[in-house]
Amino acid sequence: MRGVWTADQVRAAEKQLAERVPETTLMYRAAFGVAIAATELLREHRGRVSGTRVALLVGAGNNGGDALWAGAFLRERGVRVDALLLAPDRAHPAGLAAFRAAGGSALDASTTTAGSVAARADLVIDGIVGLSAHGPLRPSAAALLEHVTAPILAVDLPSGVDPATGEVTGAAVSAARTVTFGGLKPGHVLGAGADHSGHVEVLDIGLTAALGEPDLSLVDASDLARAWPVPGPDDDKYSQGVVGVAAGSAVYPGAAVLVTSAAVRATSGMVRYAGPAADVVRDHWPEAIVTGTVADAGRVQSWTVGPGIGTGDSGRDVLRQVLRAGVPTCVDADAITLLAQNENLWDERDPDTPLVLTPHAGEFARLVGPVRADRVASVRRAAATFDAVVLLKGKTTVIAAPDGRVLVDQARGSWAATAGSGDVLSGLIGALLASGLDPWLAAGYAAAMHSSAAELAARGAPIGASALSAAIPAAIRRARRLD
Ligand SMILES: NC(=O)C1=CN([C@@H]2O[C@H](COP(=O)(O)OP(=O)(O)OC[C@H]3O[C@@H](n4cnc5c(N)ncnc54)[C@H](O)[C@@H]3O)[C@@H](O)[C@H]2O)[C@@H](O)CC1
Ligand SMILES: Nc1ncnc2c1ncn2[C@@H]1O[C@H](COP(=O)(O)OP(=O)(O)O)[C@@H](O)[C@H]1O
Ligand SMILES: [K+]
């Protein structure tokens, strides 16, 4: 897993390090890394380094200091570097002195020539604001940015992106690449921040070891490869877990088929379907064992309940029976709405039964009120409130455990935004729960595999949920590096 640390954690690590390493040394290391990345981008886009033009957008703090020092290094490589100072009186003094000593030219960003300097650059380095950013870019920085056509290299974070939430509420830098220090920050991986950051490179600069436990984690392909259950020599049809699917209705048989499809494809465990769409499910998935009711389903190691069951009496009865079964359960779609509308249904749950709730934003609002701008905080709170894993869907999927652990899955595209794709996700989660995975990891791994399957299925053109489901084996192969 890749860790993500908050600005406060980075500052604490810096403070701890300050006893041994002077602040200027850290800045020097950071700036050197920025300069190297700049030379790589120049070579990529202009075919050379020497003789190119770089413009620095320099704000009032240390982020601007990093940019100025990087500019000084670039001067040594024969680059013409202009620093556009957004707060000339507060530009980092040592950085500015080093930059000028190296032959860099600095001008007030409010002068009329600043725009044309920004427009002529082969590369722009964004040192406007970093960890201490609040709100969108100030108007002066936003106006300057409008002149830029060259690729932008962001120092630490793309300016205008909220470092804590990834939120973009106005003008913001869209970087081709971001060089950050110590570890990833929430602003790189959440919401619009992920797209604004471009390719993110993490430089240790001596901070990483002092960061402690990450605030959030990202699932990477190696986690999926290691943890995804595949049958071994001693496995049989029961040993990877039996998944129960309580989904669909006479009106919505498709939901039952989609959940079942994902559960069948995710692992080699057995799938039992229970509900009014039994015939339709059998027609599509002869390997599933089907019955008309949850009571007749037999033993399972997990349930997925909700998609297409409706929010009326019959749906309520289904949910009640599943909650009483006492096995790990993925509660999705109509089952979430039922829980929101009938608080007494919570009483049916044995407190030891792990639940994974998988709301989209609308269902989340029904459960606990609207998702706040700080999505992670919202989901963390909900997970603690319900003593359940809560997975909030969207391009950025946030998965929180009741103990506060959070996983984030950032989809590379939005191809999964199609009807029924949530049913596929809940089928995947059910299969991983049945295999015995920790519910938080089950939800996180399922979300990551789901977005990978969406990307593979789409390859640049819209898809339906059936195609997404059909790409699950390819996504598993890709994670296991077997494609
Ligand atoms: N913390 C660390 O360990 C290290 C930090 N370094 C650099 O230091 C940066 C943090 O520096 P600072 O704490 O001085 O603060 P910043 O440079 O992030 O911000 C400086 C000032 O910008 C202004 N500002 C805030 N929001 C703005 C907005 N939306 N638009 C325009 N201006 C805005 C504020 O007045 C703020 O105090 C990091 O991002 C990184 O680049 C590096 O030098 C290396 C080590
Ligand atoms: N804009 C988006 N980009 C990427 N993935 C998305 C986007 N919107 C939704 N998704 C994903 O698609 C799925 C949609 O689930 P859901 O809203 O329950 O749809 P349905 O009820 O039609 O199945 C979720 O896995 C969600 O994370
Ligand atoms: K920046």
CATH of 2-214, one of 3.40.50.720, 3.40.50.10260, 1.10.10.60, 3.30.70.2740: 3.40.50.10260
Tell me the average pLDDT across 15-32. Answer: 92
CA of 396 to the centre of ligand 2 (A): 10
Q: Provide the pLDDT for residue 482.
A: 78
Give pLDDT tens digits for 419-437: 999 999 999 999 999 999 9
Pocket test for ligand 2, best of 190, 360, 408 (most atoms within 8 A of CB): 360
End-to-end CA distance of the chain: 22
Q: Which ligand is nearest to the CA of 363?
A: 2
The ipTM estimated for the assembled molecules is 0.90
In the chain, where does the domain assigned CATH 3.40.1190.20 lie? 221-479
Give pLDDT tens digits for 227-283: 999 999 999 989 999 999 999 999 999 999 999 999 999 999 999 999 999 999 999
Which protein residue's CA is at the shortest distance from atom 9 of ligand 1?
63
pLDDT at 362 over 90: yes
Alpha helices in 289-438 (DSSP H): 313-324, 334-341, 361-368, 375-386, 421-434
Q: Which residues surround ligand 3, an ion (CB under 5 A)?
A: 126, 130, 154-155, 159
Give pLDDT tens digits for 64-83: 999 999 999 999 999 999 99
Long-range contacts of 384-387 (CB under 8 A, 24+ apart): 386/346, 386/355, 386/357, 387/351, 387/355
pTM greater than the 0.90 cutoff: yes
Evaluate: CB of 423 within 6 angstroms of ligand 2.
Answer: yes
* Binding-site residues from annotation for (6S)-NADPHX: 62-66, 130-136, 156, 255, 308, 360, 423
Q: Which ligand is nearest to the CA of 65?
A: 1
Tell me the average pLDDT across 97-108. Answer: 98
Evaluate: CB of 132 within 6 angstroms of ligand 1.
Answer: yes
CA of 242 to the centre of ligand 1 (A): 52
CA of 125 to the centre of ligand 1 (A): 14
CATH of 221-479, one of 3.40.1190.20, 2.40.50.140, 1.10.357.10, 3.10.110.10: 3.40.1190.20
CA of 405 to the centre of ligand 2 (A): 22
242-246: strand order across its sheet: 2-4, 216-218, 406-410, 396-400, 389-392, 355-357, 329-331, 302-305, 242-246, 270-274, 289-291
Evaluate: CB of 480 within 6 angstroms of ligand 2.
Answer: no
pLDDT at 92 over 80: yes
Evaluate: CB of 62 within 6 angstroms of ligand 1.
Answer: yes
